Structure 1
Amino acid sequence: MESWRNAHALWKGARDKILSEAKSGKADKRTAAQADLEALGPEPEAPPSADRTVTEPTFEGLTKLFAHGQPSLGLFSDEGGQFLGGHAMNSENRQKTLAAFNDLWQGNPIRRTRSGDGHATLYGRRLAVHLMVQPGVARGFMADPLAADTGFLPRFLICEPPSAIGTRMQANARRDEMALGSFAARLRDILETPLPMEPETRELEPRPLHLTPEARALLVAFSDAIEAAQAPRADLAHVTGTASKAAEQAARIAGVLTLWRDLQAPAVEARDMADAIDVAQYYLSEASRLASAALVSEKIDNAEKLRKWLLEAWPHDDVTLREVVNRGPNALRESPKARAALDILTEHDWLKTNEAHTFVRGAKRKESWRMVQGARDVV
């Protein structure tokens, strides 16, 4: 960096001198100055940034770092809420940020067009993301339909391990210095290995990593099993977005395991694919569990919204499904959601189902519900 600063200072001094002489001279001076500027050459390019990780970037900032820094970056943070709650993910920027990150996950080039910077296309860039967040922050983000509908969440390997609070006894602490040292040494060797890239454009040019026939057979079997489990009413029907990417996740994990063991490995072997499938299956199980928990939480939340609406805004003791859908809380404007909320309140003795064809507001109703006596006394 110091040598670049010196070279840049000399270049700038020479350029300023040429321009200064051209301003005070005649036409022949300006012609000579033009020749001198061409001979001076372009501005010395700054060395690429050595930064390899970021914590809460905007996508514009990430693009600039990709353009002038390393072609492989990591968005790593043990305070991931700073990124999820930061400028890049606010209501105005969230959709474009999610879409841009999806493109990076797929290996697509970065295309940016701005009035000040012009148009630029960056090929061969890669981004790894690892965020640790508090459960409340994570659930709030996971409940955002945009994060799921854009395919952003299904591209992540998400887990919520049980809390260790109450069991973190110092007497039980074990530190395997040999294992940690071996891990650190291997990681250092990998990081010090030159990246496979084109020097001029800094475009990554990774070599293909093929699958052995045995590894491919394992991956195909796993993919078919996961596909069958996504059928209607099957085990993974509620997480089809995540399940649809499980086989690709397994292939990516297998590639990481292979290269961790041997950077020069010619192909992914069956043992690494089997381990990768186990890892991908774990994260898929976690996604299924968390999605089911979120679904239950949503139903309970909707039931509570209906209960408060009946107590605070509905003037009658009886109510029909159509009235809830048409006039109830916004979250219950779909019949299945409204019926589920009515069923939960009935199950917990807040409502009682009327007999069929009971008169409600002057008309026979095929089905209707009545608030249990005393329910209005409890808020």
Structure 2
Amino acid sequence: MFKKIIDKSVQRFWGGSAQPPAVSRRAKGTTRIVLPRGESALEWGQPSPLPHAEPPPTPYPLNCLSTGLREVVAAITKKTQAPEAIAAQSVLAVVSLTFASRVKVQTLSSTANATCFFVLVALSGERKSATDGWAMGGVNRTVLKLRDEFAQLIKEHEQTIKTLERDEAKPPRPVCPNFLVTEPTIEGAFKAISSGAGFLGWFSDEAATFFGGHSMSQEKQALTCGIISKFWDGAYFIRPRVTQEGDGFVPSTSTTLNLMFQPNLIRQSFGNEFMLGQGILARMLPAWPESNMGKRRYRPSDASDDAIVDKFQEATAKALRDNLEDPSERTLKLSAGAFKQCVAFHDAVELELGRGGWAADISSFAAKAPEHACRLAALMTLFEDPEATEISEATMTSACGLVKYHLQQFKYLCIAGTNDDAVSHAQKLLDWLKSNLTAGEGFATERILQTGPVPTRRRQTMDMALAILVQHDWIAKLPDGTVVDDRPRRRAYMLNPNA
């Protein structure tokens, strides 16, 4: 039977019969329910939302981005129809790598690297890779061009060696400047640093291999978290190895990090007490945007958006080349107005860090909020004017607005990290029920097992999800023997009329 359904679906997809699907959504409100004799109608209250099972309905503060960056993010968003937060995170990460890798920024207490760490949570199919591809276009072209140039240098090097006399010293082998790690591991990062580029970018649109991989295994977690935190802090390392010459000194390396993963890893990351306590997550600017899936109609690319993205790619490619050719560093100062604005932001956050305050349970991230604001302000300043020497008050105000968004996202993710997987399954089941049933309609569990969301077609998963929905008053169990679709059922439920 199942094979016949698939065969018919494939036939229709490739131009066969235009009949409706063999397994289709039934019309809402057609289920007939008869309660057993003596049973009275159910009494209902208002259902309560499931706890942080879905992204928060918080829009990305696009108006807080500088004019040029806002234009780029809007163009990539229109091209991909991905959530604005995905485009913003990718664009800011690329700016961090290309414009800010040779820059320090003044903070309230000292100076820090102007580069930033970003982490994005989004479902598969949310067009993370497509968005990142447009943002990274200039970087990727530069990397490939550098590889081609390196291959040519190797050929010339080999030719030179062939012409040497026996006693002549061999010239050193060329080194390809490596600054990009797309499979984020500690070993890969230090290998890239050894090429001598002087800065580093960790970029992965499939960071499950990081958060759920060997680097974060029980044996490696403490080491990995500690090293990544030191990258953000701008620390140097001494890593002596038997197989390497020298004392193992690794200079401070300005690092940009941009990791993307799916919501099923929230518990392993933002629900991980060690990672929260150690501080690695506090150094990352998080976002978990609402999904756009189901609302994306095809539309051709607009020429004006293409031009904006092309211009961004050219600018970031040039900035990257400049970084490679000129290793000198400089410091971006805070103007008097920017300093004053940052102090006000610091004091406002500090008030919420006390016992019982809104930020008391996310103190690790909140305490770094002013520095995050300085770094974001630096990115916006540098993109608009690569030769700028100070950050304006208006830019700092906007940066503080961005960090306020990330504060909310961080707290929300920390709470979501305490959820069991059952809550996520319950939310998917609830969405399915509301889409397929009319409020107040009854259903038998067989319907879920046959046509419901894939995870809840397993009886144990379904039972746990149903129990959560009952607890939050979205559904109620009907008495045994209730007739649903002309058959008495042992297990039947009703969707809250207020759903």
Question: Is the counterpart of residue 139 in structure 1 residue 262 in structure 2?
Answer: no
Return the structure number with greater helix share. Answer: 1
Within-5 A mapping of 1:165-176: 165-170=293-298, 176=305
Relative to structure 1, the CA distance from residue 189 to residue 3 in structure 2 (aligned partners, 3 Å threshold; closer, same or farther) is closer
**Contact 1:52–1:74, Cα closer than 8 Å, also in 2:** yes
Which sits farther off after the overlay, 218-227 or 108-117? 108-117
CA distance in 1, matches of 2:266, 2:416: 13
Q: Which amino acid aligns with 1:109?
A: Y
Match for residue 60 of structure 1?
A: 187
Is contact 2:208-2:262 (8 Å) kept? yes
Q: Are residue 182 (structure 1) and residue 311 (structure 2) matched?
A: yes
Q: Are the counterparts in 1 of residues 270 and 413 from structure 2 also a CA contact under 8 Å?
A: no
Does the CA-based 8 Å contact 1:55-1:83 persist in structure 2?
Answer: no
Aligned mate of 1:92, from 219, 225, 233: 219
Mean Cα displacement is larger for which, 143-152 or 252-261? 143-152
Q: Distance in 2 between matches of 1:124 and 1:291?
A: 30
CA–CA separation in structure 2 for the residues paired with 1:48 and 1:146: 38
* Offset of residue 284 of structure 1: 0.8
| Residue 224 of structure 2 corresponds to residue 76 of structure 1 | no
Taking structure 2 as the reference length, the TM-score comes to 0.50
Counterpart in 1 of 2:248? 120
Deviations 1:310-346 (A, max 9, x none): xxxxxxxxxxxxxxxxxxxxxxxxxxxxxxxxxxx9x
Residue of 384, 399, 410 corresponding to 1:261 = 384
The number of aligned residues is 276
Taking the aligned partners of 1:114 and 1:209, their CA distance within structure 2 comes to: 36
Instruction: Name the structure 2 match of 1:162.
Output: 290
**Residues 1:13 and 1:100: Cα distance change in structure 2 (over 3 Å):** farther
d(CA) in 2 for partners of 1:89 and 1:186? 35
Separation in structure 2 between the aligned mates of residue 105 and residue 225 of structure 1, nearest angstrom: 24
TM-superposed CA distance for 1:60, in Å, is 2.3
Distance 2:325 2:330 in 1: 8
Structure 2 CA distance for aligned equivalents of residues 6 and 177 of structure 1 = 38
- Structure 1 window deviating more from structure 2 (106-115 vs 239-248): it is 106-115
Counterparts of 1:25-44 in structure 2, within 5 Å, are 36=167, 40-41=168-169, 43-44=170-171
Q: Secondary structure at the match of 1:143?
A: coil
Whichever residue aligns with residue 116 of structure 1, its letter is T
Matched with 2:431 is: none
Equivalent residues in 2 for 1:1-379, closer than 5 Å:
1=150, 2-8=152-158, 11=161, 17=166, 36=167, 40-41=168-169, 43-118=170-245, 119-170=247-298, 176-195=305-324, 204-295=327-418, 297=419
Deviation at 1:177, TM superposition (A): 2.7
Identity score, percent: 28
- Give 3-state SS (helix, strand or coil) of 1:132's partner: strand
8 A Cα contact 1:74 1:129, kept in partner? yes
Task: Write the letter of the residue equivalent to 2:173.
Answer: A
Cα shift readout 1:65-118 (whole Å, capped 9, x = no counterpart):
211142222111111112223332222222111111111101111321112214
SS at match of 1:83: helix
Distance in 2 (CA, whole Å) between partners of 1:214 and 1:234 is 28
- What corresponds to 1:334 in structure 2? none
Distance 1:3 1:168, change over 3 A: closer
Greater Rg by CA: 1
8 Å CA contact retained: 1:48, 1:70: no
Unaligned runs of 5+ residues in structure 1 are: 18-35, 198-203, 302-344, 349-379
Cα pair 1:196 1:206 within 8 Å, conserved: no
SS at match of 1:209: strand
Give the distance between the partners of 2:337 and 2:213, measured in 1 at CA: 45
Aligned-pair CA distance for 1:7:
3.4
Equivalent position amino acid for 1:149 in 2: G
CA RMSD of aligned residues (A): 3.0
* Contact 1:56–1:86, Cα closer than 8 Å, also in 2: no
CA distance in 2, matches of 1:270, 1:128: 25
| C-alpha contact 1:79 1:132 (8 A) present in aligned 2 | yes
Determine helix, strand or coil for the equivalent of 1:241: helix
What's the CA shift for 1:255?
0.7
Structure 1 residues 9 and 59 mapped into 2: Cα distance closer, same or farther (>3 Å)? farther
Distance 1:170 1:5 in 2: 47
Aligned residue for 2:315, secondary structure, equals: helix
Q: Secondary structure at the match of 1:96?
A: helix
| 1:105-161 Cα shifts (integer Å, max 9, x gaps) | 011113211122142212242221111110112332222222112110100011110
TM-score, structure 1 length as denominator? 0.65
| SS of structure 2 residue aligned to 1:149 | helix
1:240 Cα offset (Å) = 0.4
Higher relative contact order (CA 8 A, sep 6+): 2
| Residue deviations 1:32-57 (CA, integer Å, cap 9, x gap) | xxxx5xxx44x533333244322224
The one-letter amino acid paired with 2:201 is: G
